[in-house]
C-alpha cells in the first residue's frame, strides 16, 4: 500500500460532519457509496443530492449545478474510486472555472463498494497533481483532521474551483443509508431551490 494512505489518520465521518457544519447553506452532491452514507450520517437535508449509481458522475453533476446556481456554494463529496472513474470531468471543470464549486475527494486508497481493492490513488496516482494538470489551480491535500477550516473558508469564499483530496483512514463505519427513491430526491432538491416539482 502507498504510504500516503497507510499513514492517514482522518476519521471520515468526523471530518465530513465538521465540514458540513461550517457550510450549512451549501448545495451538496455526493458520490455513490460511503460518501453518501457519511453526508447522510451528519443529518439529512433537502439540499443534499445523493447519487446511488452513476459512478463517475458526481463531479459532472456538481459542475452543472454550480453553473445553474452561481450564487450558491456547491460541494461535491465523493470518493477516490468514483472520482478516478470520472477523472475527465476535472478537465471540463477547469475549462468552465465555476467559482462556486468545490470537489472534496475522501481518499482511502480503496474501492470501498466492491471489496476494498486498492485504487490507483494508493498505487501512485496523486489526485492533487492530476487536478492541477487539468488546470484547477486551487488544490490542497488534507492530511490532518484539524485542517478542515481551510476547506470551509474556500467553500465560503467562492473563488474556486477548488479540489481537495482528504486522506482518510481505511475503515468502513456503519452504513447510514439515505433515501433511495430517485424521484423523491429530485423533487425535494428542486423544491429546496424554489422550483416546481413533477
Number of domains in the chain: 1
> What is the arithmetic mean of pLDDT over 175-181?
90
- Examine residue 197 and state whether it is found in any structural domain, yes or no: no
Rounded percentage of the chain residues whose pLDDT exceeds 70: 88
Mean pLDDT, the chain, as a whole number? 89
User: Minimal CA–CA distance to 119: which of 128, 107, 129, 130?
Assistant: 107
- Examine residue 198 and state whether it is found in any structural domain, yes or no: no
- Examine residue 147 and state whether it is found in any structural domain, yes or no: yes
CA distances from 62 to 9, 120, 198 (A): 28, 23, 22
Print the domain residue range for 87: 3-192
β-pair partners for 28: 48, 75
pTM of the model: 0.91
Amino acid at each position: 500500500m502507498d504510504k500516503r494512505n497507510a499513514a492517514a489518520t482522518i476519521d471520515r465521518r468526523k471530518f465530513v460532519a465538521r465540514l458540513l457544519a461550517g457550510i450549512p447553506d451549501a448545495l451538496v452532491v455526493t458520490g455513490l457509496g460511503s460518501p453518501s452514507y457519511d453526508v447522510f450520517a451528519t443529518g439529512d437535508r433537502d439540499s443534499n443530492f445523493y447519487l446511488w449509481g452513476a459512478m463517475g458522475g458526481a463531479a459532472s453533476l456538481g459542475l452543472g449545478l454550480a453553473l445553474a446556481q452561481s450564487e450558491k456554494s456547491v460541494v461535491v463529496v465523493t470518493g477516490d474510486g468514483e472520482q478516478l472513474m470520472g477523472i475527465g470531468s476535472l478537465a471540463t471543470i477547469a475549462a468552465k472555472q465555476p467559482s462556486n464549486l468545490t470537489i472534496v475527494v475522501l481518499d482511502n486508497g480503496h474501492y470501498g463498494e466492491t471489496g476494498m481493492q486498492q485504487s490507483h490513488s494508493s498505487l501512485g496516482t496523486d489526485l492533487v497533481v492530476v487536478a492541477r494538470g487539468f488546470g484547477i489551480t486551487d488544490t490542497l491535500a488534507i492530511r490532518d483532521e484539524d485542517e478542515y477550516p481551510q476547506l470551509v473558508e474556500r467553500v465560503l469564499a467562492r473563488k474556486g474551483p477548488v479540489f481537495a483530496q482528504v486522506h482518510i483512514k481505511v475503515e468502513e463505519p456503519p452504513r447510514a443509508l439515505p433515501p433511495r427513491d430517485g424521484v423523491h430526491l429530485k423533487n425535494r432538491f428542486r423544491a429546496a431551490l424554489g422550483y416546481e416539482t413533477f
